[in-house]
Structure 1
């Protein structure tokens, strides 16, 4: 990495002062990144010889939270690679918790407690997006989870999403919430509580199609604050009480997401911080999510182009816009490691959430967009690279000082020249990926 450090010093001395308008160091930078890369033998979850992944382990170092990204929820190769990484991190690096970018309540209050193997399959498919549970490429993950569940060192599951998209949330949340507040002598027969329940049911069932004026905002928030106080003094065990307090706040997040249209990422970060501190203290955690959520520096997005940057500051967008990764990096700094995955060619499934924002349409298939000349993906393809891990210099969380380069690390369909070094600690390149059916 010495050449990379020298390059950064040159840029900070003045070459980078005008957004690289005079000299473009991207080619030299990508050359050096390529030289620092380590070949990965296979993305197959069945390959349990992890010697080729040790470079990733060394790059992660002492970090306790690893964010496993993907360029699209329909990128089957990324799902296979992440499954192999879960095995490696669990067996060799002591990571025992796997949190999904999925329904916190359904996972924490049902799926994570299920021991019956057949019931796990049913609950997972009902409560986690089907691109990660019903797809052919995801089956190895759940086979492994169930195998480990029977051993001495099981994987613990968690969820961070404020979307209550799972069946368990839609059918059981209100009844279970009513039971716990009733046990604390809360008046669940009051008109205010009945109105709150009616509005919560409306949001749960309609989600993004909910009308903004379809609920009583003042009553909802006032009642939720009272419910929170009641839960604090409930008679359940401390862990369960903490879980319920996190969920009550998550109901507030759901309201803010659907009715007030606030940032989902900051809510997921808040959920993660609470869960890591109060439910999984001292545990090493893997997070299964999209590259876009795992960005460690929110200002990377501002680097898209000068006009966007101008609007970014003139409209104070940067004050409200954030990423999940950015927020937890602010909280935990170098304890967070963000690993992005990108694909050069092949197929993917474009309808990974379907019309209901939950069930993937496995009949849809699309080609990975062709990379533009000069981009990271184009460069690696010209090098006839198959699978490669690239560690990025340790310069995350703020403008890195390293050259910007073109890539689609934020999303499979979004290629742009940006400061990706500020956003990710490492990158895995897959030359030819597959769709959710493994084709």
Structure 2
């Protein structure tokens, strides 16, 4: 090969290589449009000023139920930002009730702490009591200090996760229990749940009609809810696994409606996983959010959280046993994932009003997907289901990087 031809080849190669590099750096065309609609998340510090999210007062002013979702149960940023939004909703929009995807009896003990009836948290399980949520509980306790009981922020659980917890509540709240029912409840609440047999649950279930008959006064609304929680829990346990799918969301919806009706101004914040707060089916079961959307229409507002890559605290097998530990999830690699474009946006962390974004035809088509979105529960196995993010949620809080909750 001549020197001239060799040099020509080098020049062509360099030009082609440069073009490839430019193409790799050039963002996806949808990102350019996306950048026009996103608002930067300036801080996740719950103690910071609300100046940067003040615009949400207009967006949320007429909402009756606001769902605060989480794409994982173990991301530090999600918990901190949800704490910030809780404080905003309480201080600026006067929400007085918060319900958690947690055990009713366990959260009742946290409620006793935040309203000042207990000086220390009595932990019964069924709630993510970690560094991030302890800070939130301490803030709510301080906020409540100077308020009369009827104006204090109250906490609630959305389900009965523990047979023992709910039976103990019934034993404490129903002084007129028959000797036979008291004997059954006392026996069941002292058996570890993993040792309970179907005949134990069936025996407990058979007590329910007479439990209801012992609560006839107008003041018995709370004990009646305890009985209903027990009824939901026993029905769930006695069903085959394939029929249990969806029963949790249906029960949480019923309990959320009850909590909302009991709450001051009938306004409610719900803290749960994105998958439960979706306004459309993501999996085979109907989610809590869809029930809420059908009942309250535009009065229900669903906020999702999402991330591109980083560590998440999950229960994962390590050296032969399951433990809570950080697991790394890599960045999106395909345009079939929403995070692929979100991760290229000009702000690392941002808010996206999905209801506004879909007014742009190109963005509407992209946001309707369907595409994959990171949905991680308590284990390291993500969801494999596609969804339409703009149909499932109203607002997105996106973080480019997740760090494990503490």
TM-score by length of 2: 0.77
The alpha-carbon distance between structure 1 residues 336 and 105, as it changes in their structure 2 partners (threshold 3 A), is: same
Answer whether contact 1:342 1:427 (CA < 8 A) is retained: yes
The yes-or-no answer on 1:259 pairing with 2:244 is no
Q: Distance in 1 between matches of 2:252 and 2:152?
A: 24
Q: Tell me how far apart the structure 1 counterparts of residues 226 and 297 of structure 2 sit (CA, whole Å).
A: 25
Q: Cα offset for 1:170?
A: 6.4
Matched residue, 1:404? 369
> Alpha-carbon deviation of 1:174?
4.5
Partner of residue 420, structure 1: 389
Name the CA distance, whole Å, in 2 between partners of 1:171 and 1:247: 8
Alpha-carbon distance in structure 1 between the residues aligned to 2:114 and 2:87: 20
- Is 1:274 the counterpart of 2:236? The answer is no
Asked if the contact 1:295/1:325 (under 8 Å) is kept, the reply is yes
Match of 1:206 in 2: 193
What's the counterpart of residue 307 of structure 1? none
Q: 1:370 aligned to 327, 331, 337, which one? A: 331
Correspondence list, 1:275-354, <5 A: 275-277=259-261, 279-280=262-263, 282-298=265-281, 300-301=282-283, 321-351=285-315
Counterpart of 2:168 (choices 165, 172, 175) is 172
Contact 1:296/1:325 (<8 A) preserved:
yes
Output the CA distance in 1 between the equivalents of 2:133 and 2:355. Answer: 31
SS at the partner of 1:42?
coil
Deviation string 1:303-340 (CA, Å, 9 cap, x unpaired) is xxxxxxxxxxxxxxx6xx22111122222222111100
Q: Does 1:142 align with 2:137?
A: yes
- The one-character-per-residue Cα deviations of 1:150-182 (angstroms, maximum 9, x if unpaired) are 1335321111122137x8x26832521542xx1
CA contact (8 A) 1:341 1:409 kept: no
* SS of residue matched to 2:210: helix
Distance 1:351 1:118 in 2: 33
Closer, same or farther in 2 for the Cα pair 1:159/1:60, shift >3 Å?
A: same
- 1:237-291 C-alpha deviation (Å, 9 max, x unpaired): x4x51111111111001112222253111111111111212x2152321111111
Q: Specify the SS of the correspondent of 1:351.
A: strand
Where in structure 2 are there 5+ consecutive unaligned residues? Answer: 1-27, 359-363
1:112 paired residue number: 111
For 1:186-225, list aligned pairs within 5 A: 186=177, 188-190=178-180, 194-195=183-184, 198-199=187-188, 202=191, 205-206=192-193, 210-211=196-197, 213-215=198-200, 217=202, 219-225=203-209
Q: TM-score, normalised by structure 1?
A: 0.72
| Cα gap change, 1:199 to 1:421, in 2 (>3 Å) | same
Bigger Rg, which one: 2
CA deviation after TM superposition for structure 1 residue 57, in Å: 3.4
Q: Is the 1:389–1:426 Cα contact (8 Å) retained in structure 2?
A: yes
CA contact (8 A) 1:68 1:340 kept: yes
- Distance apart, 1:353 and its partner CA: 12
CA distance in 2, matches of 1:385, 1:415: 27
Cα deviation, residue 408, structure 1: 1.9
Residue in 2 that maps onto 1:393: 355
Instruction: Go from structure 1 to structure 2 and tell me whether the alpha carbon gap of 1:387 and 1:161 turns closer, same or farther (over 3 Å shift).
Output: same
User: Which residue in 2 is equivalent to 1:87?
Assistant: 87
Cα distance in 2, alignment partners of residues 352 and 62 from structure 1? 41
Query: Would the aligned equivalents of 1:37 and 1:388 in 2 still touch at CA under 8 Å?
Result: yes
Q: Partners of 1:407 and 1:120 in 2: how far apart? A: 45
CA distance 1:45–1:199, change in 2 (3 Å): same
Q: Kindly indicate whether the alpha-carbon contact (under 8 Å) linking 1:103 and 1:161 is maintained by their aligned counterparts in 2.
A: yes
| Runs (5+) with no aligned partner, structure 1 | 1-26, 302-317, 355-359
Aligned length: 356
